[in-house]
Amino acid sequence: MASPQALLICLLVLAVTEGWDQEAAIPGCHLHPFNVTVRSDRQGTCQGSHVAQACVGHCESSAFPSRYSVLAASGYRHNITSVSQCCTISSLKKVKVQLQCVGDRRQELEIFTARACQCDMCRLSRF
């Protein structure tokens, strides 16, 4: 059985990808609000929604012929050098989500959302 955090991450990834087509046209790297639904378990015993923030946009990247020292060190296999930046979360904040549970109970859960964005070195995973 997946943990609540794993389910939350899956929900965030699905929610973040919606609406990116419109945001991709805006230059720069910026915050983008999206609705996220949080469930306590697969059955939805407790659930609630919140507006969270994601980082979307464009950052500069370039490619150029490698310097001779790079060529020599790579055995003449690294003939192009690239410098890439990705729009990433530079700081996070915790927000509280109120969950409505079966039987009129309430539960509170903290999730992370982006506080600020910046262009930074591309990585496979930051957060």
Say which residues have a Cβ less than 8 Å from residue 15's Cβ, sequence separation at least 6. 34, 35, 36, 37, 52
pLDDT of residue 124 exceeding 80, the answer is no
How far lies 124's CA from each of 73, 86, 88, 121, 127, in Å? 26, 10, 11, 10, 10
pLDDT in tens, 71-108: 999 999 989 998 889 999 999 999 999 999 988 889 89
Considering only residues 78 and 18, tell me which one the structure prediction assigns the higher pLDDT: 78
How far lies 84's CA from each of 29, 79, 120, in Å? 14, 16, 8
pLDDT of residue 24 exceeding 80, the answer is no
Q: What pLDDT is attached to residue 41?
A: 82
Domain ranges of the chain: 4-59+85-121
Name the band, by pLDDT with cuts 50, 70 and 90, for residue 43: confident
Comparing 42-46, 81-85, 111-115, which segment has the lowest mean pLDDT? 42-46
Distance of CA 95 to the CA centre of its chain: 16
Instruction: Note the pTM of the prediction, 2 decimals.
Output: 0.62
Q: What pLDDT is attached to residue 67?
A: 93
Q: What pLDDT is attached to residue 18?
A: 47
pLDDT of residue 29 exceeding 60, the answer is yes
> Which class would CATH give 4-59+85-121?
mainly beta
